[in-house]
Amino acid sequence: MPAMPAISILVGIVLSVYGLYSYSISESHGPTALFPAYFGIAFIGLGVLSMYDKFRKHAMHLAAVLGLIGFAGGAYMGIRKLPALLAGELTDPKELNKARSQNLLAFICLTFVILCIISFIQARRRRKSGTDATQS
Render pLDDT for 43-78 as a digit per residue (tens, 0 to 9): 999 999 999 999 999 999 999 999 999 999 999 999
DSSP class of residue 32?
A: G
pTM, two decimals, is: 0.86
pLDDT for position 112: 97
Q: Which residues contact 43 (CB under 8 A, 6 or more apart)?
A: 8, 9, 11, 12, 15, 63, 66, 67, 112
End-to-end C-alpha distance for the chain, whole angstroms: 9
Which band of pLDDT confidence, cut at 50, 70 and 90, is reported for residue 4?
very high
Does residue 37 have a pLDDT over 70? yes
pLDDT value, residue 131: 66
Q: What is the pLDDT of residue 49?
A: 97
Rounded Cα distance, 79 and 28, in Å: 22
